[in-house]
Amino acid sequence: MATRDILVIPDKRLRLVSEPVKTIDKDIRALVDDMLETMYAAPGIGLAAIQIGVPKRVVTMDLAKKDEPKQPRVFINPEVMFASEEKSAYEEGCLSIPEYYEEVERPLSVKVKYLDLDGKEHVIEATGLLATCLQHEIDHTNGVLFIDHISKLKRDMVIKKFKKAAKRGEPVKPLSEDEKPSHHIG
């Protein structure tokens, strides 16, 4: 297991459409191990493989609260089969867009099909944070970022800020503790 570097915008690889996993072999298991370790170290509650530069449709997640035991989840080839018309808004963040949080409106509930690490197919109906996180991570597998769901004005400002930081070769300035929301998405 190893912690891997997380890609940050404007890295173009974050815009790739990831390939479905054909065979769940030892390479995929090793990838999942690295993703979980990287996600916990960040820390984040979700991670898509492309965020560590691997364009495969693999997502890891753990929505357990700090005082709860770890609940690692793995979604291989996750796919939204149904999304409710009813929407909900949640303040999202992304490990690939650090120190930026914005409210995003998405379907309140979704039905998602995926494979587990044994290749068994599951369908789950998710609502609340799980629904938001699944949609955020599945977006990553399609090269979509949460800032694509906010206004163009706000999105352009964020992208400009990260382009400038990349040019300087420095990370963007961290938010002060009181500006940080208590939750993070991956």
Helix/strand/coil for 184: coil
Q: From the CB of 10, what's the least distance to Ni ion, in Å? A: 15
Q: From the CB of 68, what's the least distance to Ni ion, in Å? A: 22
Please identify, using beta-carbon distances, which residue of 6 and 24 lies nearer to Ni ion: 6
Closest chain position to Ni ion (CB)? 94
The count of residues in the chain is 186
Determine the size of the site formed for Ni ion (CB under 5 A). 2
Residues 6+ apart with CB under 8 A from 144: none
Reply yes or no on whether 137 is catalytic. Answer: yes
Task: For residue 94, state whether it binds Ni ion (rule: CB under 5 A).
Answer: yes
Catalytic annotation, pick one of 79, 99, 137, 179: 137
Task: For residue 52, state whether it binds Ni ion (rule: CB under 5 A).
Answer: no
CB 62 within 8 A of CB 72: yes
Q: From the CB of 16, what's the least distance to Ni ion, in Å? A: 14
CA 8 – CA 94 distance, rounded (Å): 9
Please identify, using beta-carbon distances, which residue of 24 and 76 lies nearer to Ni ion: 76
Neighbouring CB atoms inside 10 A of 105's CB total 11
CB 128 within 8 A of CB 183: no
What value does the CA radius of gyration of the chain take, rounded to a whole number of Å?
Answer: 16
Please identify, using beta-carbon distances, which residue of 24 and 132 lies nearer to Ni ion: 132
Question: Catalytic site residues?
Answer: 137
Q: Which residues bind Ni ion (CB under 5 A)?
A: 94, 186
